[in-house]
């Protein structure tokens, strides 16, 4: 049971890491493409908000992982 819980937390941690890395890579790409294409600033702000939302989601999940590991340790 404990091993299964640990595996779930590891999987959740990997998903969080992928979301953080993917959000930042996508955000940087959109900033570069938007500037090169001459898109208005309001499109950049839209993607800024999307990146912030992804990072907030990741922060909440990191907190949940942290709490679950503390409970498992006693």
Tens of pLDDT, residues 20-72: 999 999 999 999 999 999 988 888 899 999 999 999 999 999 999 999 999 98
What confidence tier does 73 reach under pLDDT thresholds 50, 70, 90? confident
Q: Provide the phi-psi class of 38: left if phi over 0, else alpha when psi is between -120 and 50, else beta.
A: left
For the chain, the farthest-separated pair of C-alpha atoms sits apart, in whole angstroms, at 55
Compute, in degrees rounded to 10, the torsion defined by CA atoms 66, 18, 11, 16.
30
| CA end-to-end distance (rounded Å), the chain | 15
What confidence tier does 3 reach under pLDDT thresholds 50, 70, 90? confident
* pTM score: 0.87
At a CB cut-off of 8 Å and minimum separation 6, what does 58 contact? Answer: 16, 19, 20, 23
The pLDDT of residue 41 is 86
């Amino acid at each position: 049971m404990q091993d299964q819980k640990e595996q779930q937390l590891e999987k959740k941690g990997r998903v969080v890491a992928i979301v953080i890395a993917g959000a930042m890579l996508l955000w940087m790409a959109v900033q570069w493409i938007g500037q090169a294409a001459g898109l208005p600033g309001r499109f950049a702000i839209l993607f800024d908000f999307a990146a912030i939302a992804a990072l907030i989601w990741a922060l909440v999940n990191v907190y949940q992982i942290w709490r679950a590991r503390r409970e498992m340790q006693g």
